[in-house]
Structure 1
Amino acid sequence: MERTHDSLRRGWTTGSCATAAARAAWRGLCGGEFPDPVTITLPGGQDVAFALAGHGHAGDGGAWAEVVKDAGDDPDVTHGAHVRVDVRRGARGSGVVFHAGSGVGTVTLPGLPVPPGQPAINPVPRHMIRTALRDADGHEPDVDVTISIAGGQDMARHTLNARLGIVGGLSILGTTGIVVPFSCAAWIDSIHRGVDVARALGLPHVAGCTGDVSERATQALYGLPPEAMLEMGDFAGGLLKYLRRHPVGRVSIGGGVAKMTKLAQGFLDLHSRRGQADMARLAERAHGIGAPDGLVAAIAQAHSVASAFALAADAGCPLGPVVARDAWRKAADVLAGTPCMLDVLLFDRAGTLVARHGPHPVP
C-alpha cells in the first residue's frame, strides 16, 4: 500500500472495493473461476489488486464476491467493512443496472449526483464498475449489480447520509478510488452535497456550524429545517468557497467563541492543527474598544479564548461583537460578489448567543 509524504498509509474507497468485487463476481459467473486476487484499474490509470474475502455461485443463477475495505491509516467509519457484490444476467439491452442491497442507502432528496429513488452509488464508482465489467467481457454486458455492506445501516448513523436524504445505509463513494489519510475529502464532499440538496429544495436560508451545540442553537434561533443545516465542522473554507460558486439567498455561520475567533483572525480551516488563536491579537481587539490596560494584558496571557471572553464579560467589555464583526468580514471576503445575506453568530459552551453580526449583504 502506498504511503503519503508523512508516512501515513493510503487506503481504498468503497467504490474501488465494489468494483473489484463486481469484476470477480462477473468473471465467476461467466467462466466459473473467481480471480483472487482480482485486479482493477483506478480512474487515474493505476492497476490495483484486491484479495477476495469470499465468493460463490447463487442458487438463482447469479454469483457473488466480497472484498474487505482497507482505509489505510484514515479513521474511516467504513474501514474493515465487507463490501459484497451480487451479479446476475439482466434483460437483453438493459446494460448495467445497479441495485442497493442490505446496508447500502437509497437517495430520497434532489440535488445529489444520482436522482431520488436510485441506490446511493455515486457516478465515478458506477463508471468504474461498468468499465471493469466491460474489460472483463469485451463489451458492456447486460447485468444486474447489487451492492451490499454488512452493518452498513449502523455505520451510516456516523455519517451525514441521513441529512442528505440517503436512507437505509451507506453511499458507495470515491472519485480517485484512493483514500488519502486525514484529507477529510469525504466530509467536505458531504458539505458540498448538503448545499446541492438545499438548493434543489429551494431553501432560502442555510447555516453552517462548527459543532452540535452551535448547530442546535442556530437551528432553534431561526427555525430552520434539518436540510438547511450544513455540518461545517472546521471546514469554513470548504463551505464558503462552494457557496461562492453555488450561492443561496442567506447564509448563517455559527460557532463557539474559539472557532469564530480563529475565523476572525483569517483562518478558513478551524482545526487546531492548522493553528491556534492568537491571544495577542485578541487583546488588541479588546484594546481597540477601550478595554483598560490590565484587562488587555490579562487577555493576552489567557490560556484559552473561552477564558479571555470570560474575563472580558466580567469587566463589561463587549468583545463578542468585535470578533463577530471581523469573522463576518472574513466570511464575506470569500463570498464577495454573490447575492448572499450573511450573518455570523458566536455561542458559549451552553449554546447561549454571545454575539451576532448581520445579516448584511456581502460586498
Structure 2
Amino acid sequence: MVGGRQGQLASSGLRPGWTTGACATAAATAAWEALLTGEFPDPVEVDLPQGRRPSFALTVEDVSGDVAMAGVTKDAGDDPDVTHAALVRVTVRRGRPGGGVTFTGGPGVGRVTLPGLPLAVGEPAINPGPRRMITENLRAVSLRCGGVPTDVAVEISIDDGAGMARHTWNPRIGIVDGLSVLGTTGVVVPYSCSAWIDSIRRGVDVARAAGLQHLAGCTGSTSERVATELFGLPTLALLDMGDFAGAVLKYVSRHPVERLSLVGGFAKLSKLANGHLDLHSHRTSIDTAHLSALARDGGAGEELQRGIRGSTTAMAALQLAAAAGVPLGDLVALAARDHAVTVLRGAPVDIDVTCIDRAGAVVGTSDSGRS
C-alpha cells in the first residue's frame, strides 16, 4: 500500500495514485540506500516533479553482498489502471566506475522493437521521465551517504508485467514482453486517461517512423475491422482512439500524415459533428436537435425533423431519416469532417470520416477534403 502526502482527495473527490515510474523511483532509492548503508528506509521518501515528496511503503526487500532489491506495490488511486496493484521490483548493483546510472529491464518490463518511441530500438521500455526521476534520487542518496559516486546498474522488473501488457497498447506499438515504466510527474490523475492519450501519441510516432502516411483513428474493435476492410491498412496504422478524437486530431495537427481516416459509431461521431472532441457517453450526450438541423439541411421536412428531435437514440434518428430517404449518416460524417478540419488548424492532412452501426455496416461517409 502506498502512503504519503498525496493521500488527500483530489478536487474531484477521487483519490490520485502513483505511476509505475514513481514506484520504480521509490524502490530504486530504497535499494541503493540499503546497498550503501545496510538498512532499508521504510517507508522511503522520494522527490518527484512539481515539488512533491511522497513516501512509499516497501512490499519486499533483500540485500545480499553487492546486490540489493526493493519492491513497491503500485496504488493507482481511483483510476481504473490495468497496472493497479502491480509489484514493481528494482535491483541495484554498483556499476562501472564513471558509468553513471544504467538501466536494464527485468521480467515484466517490455523491450522496444520499433523506431518512433522516445527510446532506441532494443532498449527496455523505461521512459525518459522515470529514468530522470530515478537518477536524481539515487544521486541524492549518494550525497547523503558521503558523496559516493552514483555509478549504479538499475534493473526494473514488474511481476506479471507480460500478462498485464496484453491489455495495453504495448504490443501494437512494438513494445514486447512486458509493460512500460511510465510517468512524467509521478502522479496518476483519476480518469484523466493520460496513459491512453499518451499511447495514441506514441502510436502516431511509431506509424510515422515506419513510413506510414495513412492512419485511421478508430473508436473500437469493430471500427478497426471496418477500417482494415475499407482501406487495407496494416495494424500499425490503426489508432485505438476510443473516445479521444481530440487527442488524435491535435497530435496529428502537430505531426501530420498525408491522410487521416476517422472511423466510428454513428452516435459517437455525431458528437464530433456537433463540435465535441471527447466522445464519452458520460461527458457528452447525443444532441437530437443538432441531428434534426443536419437533416433539415439535407432536405428533411418538418415532420421528419420533429421525429428526429424526439428520438431517444442516435440510431433511431438515423433509421427515421433513412426511411425518408434523407442521408443523415453522410450529413453527420461531413459535419464531423468539417469540425475535424478546424482542429487540424491548417495542417496538410487529407481527412475523411466513416460512420458505422453496431454491426459494422457503413451508414455514412464524407468526401476526403484538404484541411
Q: Tell me the TM-score normalized by structure 2.
A: 0.95
Runs of 4+ more than 3 Å apart: none
Q: Give the Cα separation in 1 of the matches to 2:217 and 2:96.
A: 46
Q: Give the Cα separation in 1 of the matches to 2:275 and 2:208.
A: 27
Q: Which runs of 5+ in 1 are unaligned?
A: none
How far is the alpha carbon of 1:58 from its aligned partner?
4.2
Q: Which residue number in structure 2 is paired with residue 279 of structure 1?
A: 288
Amino acid aligned to 1:145:
V
Deviations 1:283-306 (A, max 9, x none): 122122222332222111111001
Q: Which residue number in structure 2 is paired with residue 302 of structure 1?
A: 311
Amino acid aligned to 1:180:
V
Q: Give the Cα separation in 1 of the matches to 2:19 and 2:327.
A: 48
Residues 247-326 of structure 1 aligned to structure 2 (within 5 Å): 247-326=256-335
Amino acid aligned to 1:80:
A
Contact 1:164 1:197 (C-alpha < 8 Å) held by counterparts: yes
Q: Which residue number in structure 2 is paired with residue 134 of structure 1?
A: 139
Deviations 1:120-155 (A, max 9, x none): 000010001101111001265222111111111111
Deviations 1:11-65 (A, max 9, x none): 1110000000001111111111011011100111211110001100246x31100
How far is the alpha carbon of 1:157 from its aligned partner?
1.0
Deviations 1:196-252 (A, max 9, x none): 111111111111011111111012211111111111111111110111111111111
Q: Which residue number in structure 2 is paired with residue 202 of structure 1?
A: 211
Q: Which residue number in structure 1 is paired with residue 3 of structure 2?
A: none
Contact 1:265 1:277 (C-alpha < 8 Å) held by counterparts: no
Q: Give the Cα separation in 2 of the matches to 1:164 and 1:289.
A: 41
Residues 5-44 of structure 1 aligned to structure 2 (within 5 Å): 5-44=11-50
Q: Give the Cα separation in 1 of the matches to 2:229 and 2:124.
A: 33
Deviations 1:92-130 (A, max 9, x none): 222111111111101111111111100000001000110
Q: Which residue number in structure 2 is paired with residue 122 of structure 1?
A: 127
Amino acid aligned to 1:95:
G
Fraction of identical pairs, as percent: 56
How far is the alpha carbon of 1:182 from its aligned partner?
0.5
Q: Give the Cα separation in 1 of the matches to 2:64 and 2:72.
A: 17
Q: Give the Cα separation in 1 of the matches to 2:345 and 2:10.
A: 35
Deviations 1:144-200 (A, max 9, x none): 111111111111111111111110110000011111101111111111111111111
How far is the alpha carbon of 1:2 from its aligned partner?
2.7
Give 3-state SS (helix, strand or coil) of 1:44's partner: helix
Q: Select between 320-329 and 273-282 the one with higher mean Cα deviation.
A: 273-282
Deviations 1:225-282 (A, max 9, x none): 1111111111111110111111111111111100111100000111122221210121
Give 3-state SS (helix, strand or coil) of 1:251's partner: strand
Work out whether 1:57 is the aligned partner of 2:28: no
Amino acid aligned to 1:35:
P
Match of 2:179 among 170, 194, 211: 170
Work out whether 1:101 is the aligned partner of 2:106: yes
Aligned length in residues: 361
Q: Which residue number in structure 1 is paired with residue 349 of structure 2?
A: 340
Deviations 1:302-322 (A, max 9, x none): 110011112222232211111
Work out whether 1:92 is the aligned partner of 2:101: no
Work out whether 1:155 is the aligned partner of 2:146: no
Give 3-state SS (helix, strand or coil) of 2:33's partner: helix
Q: Which runs of 5+ in 2 are unaligned?
A: 1-6
